[in-house]
């Protein structure tokens, strides 16, 4: 594993790079309030792969957005695009878990010429709401931002407490929670501070409509693998059932585990990934 960072136009993204530098090029995007350590267990079971796991803006070791900005879903698309330009990778496989899977699906629709294959773990396109809910959604978003600004930041008293809280919040095993917490804590003068930007916990300003969500999925040209957990989120399974027909080339599999199955039960997930990727040869990078 190698720590690496990328300076984009407006912020710096941190990442961890695993595997064979000459292997298959894969960009991995983690879930909400997680970080690039989310892919450490999976990377141990992937051979012949050059896996670049990103800390999304506001997460892990990456920069927070500026004080006058917020975490709009579509802004992460630009971050990923700028990252790919910095890397110089013409094509790559895109792998995303939860929020990272949502971002990956939007990216594959927006820049289809770059994405060789798309894998969504416990995700199936963006969350959607009825159009008439938008005014209330925006109201709740604005109020939540102000509320966060007015509240004093709370940090964990011990690493043990932080790990236990992460286990309970994410319904994942202690070893998995330990990996995420280790990258998400800053220790200063024996005081622990969360690295995660508190603004990530505010309410989204806007949801896509179901028609818009389906429009993005229809624009994906790459073959798609959707992996769900046997005890995963029901919302993901519902979205998969009602949206599957909108994806041109779709493979769906279910592996034992919950929402973080790629961490808690990585080997079968890795086997599915390797089998899927073997069907589509990597193009040489210039």
Which sequence positions are flagged as catalytic?
A: 98
Q: Name the region of 88 (left: φ>0; alpha: ψ -120 to 50; beta: rest).
A: left
Alpha-carbon span 93 to 1, nearest angstrom:
19
C-beta of residue 227 within 8 angstroms of C-beta of residue 119: yes
DSSP-assigned letters across all residues of 226-259:
EEEETTS-HHHHHHHHHHGGG-SSEEEEEESSST
**What stretches of the chain show up as alpha helix (H) in DSSP?**
40-43, 75-87, 99-110, 134-150, 159-170, 174-184, 210-218, 234-243, 261-264, 266-277
Of 247, 182, 257, 201, nearest in space to 220 by CA: 247
- Tokens in use for 123? 């995700």
Burial class (CB in 10 A: 0-12, 13-18, 19+), 54: buried
Task: State the Cα torsion 83-89-94-99 to the nearest 10°.
Answer: 0
- Tokens in use for 188? 């200063």
Of 72, 60, 71, nearest in space to 5 by CA: 60
């Amino acid at each position: 594993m190698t720590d690496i960072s990328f300076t984009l136009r407006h912020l710096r993204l941190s990442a961890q790079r695993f595997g064979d530098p000459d292997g298959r090029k894969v960009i991995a995007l983690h879930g909400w309030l997680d970080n690039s350590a989310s892919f450490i267990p999976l990377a141990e079971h992937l051979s012949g792969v050059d896996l670049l796991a990103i800390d999304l803006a506001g997460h892990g070791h990456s920069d927070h957005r500026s004080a006058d900005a917020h975490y709009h879903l579509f802004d992460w698309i630009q971050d990923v695009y700028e990252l790919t330009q910095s890397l110089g990778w013409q094509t790559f496989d895109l792998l995303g878990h939860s929020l990272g899977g949502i971002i990956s699906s939007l990216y594959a629709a927006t820049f289809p010429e770059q994405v060789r294959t798309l894998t969504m773990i416990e995700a199936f396109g963006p969350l959607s709401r009825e159009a008439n809910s938008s005014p209330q959604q925006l109201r709740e978003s604005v109020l939540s931002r102000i509320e966060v600004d007015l509240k004093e930041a709370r940090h964990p008293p011990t690493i043990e407490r932080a790990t236990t809280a992460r286990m309970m919040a994410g319904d994942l095993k202690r070893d998995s929670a330990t990996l995420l917490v280790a990258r998400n804590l800053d220790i200063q003068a024996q005081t622990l501070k969360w690295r995660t930007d508190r603004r990530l916990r505010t309410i989204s300003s806007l949801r896509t409509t179901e028609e818009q969500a389906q429009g993005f999925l229809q624009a994906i040209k790459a073959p798609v693998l959707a992996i769900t957990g046997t005890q995963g989120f029901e919302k993901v399974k519902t979205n998969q059932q009602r949206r599957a027909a909108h994806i041109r080339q779709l493979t769906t599999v279910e592996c034992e585990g919950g929402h973080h199955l790629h961490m808690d039960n990585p080997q079968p997930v890795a086997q599915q990934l390797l089998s899927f990727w073997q069907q589509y040869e990597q193009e040489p990078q210039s």
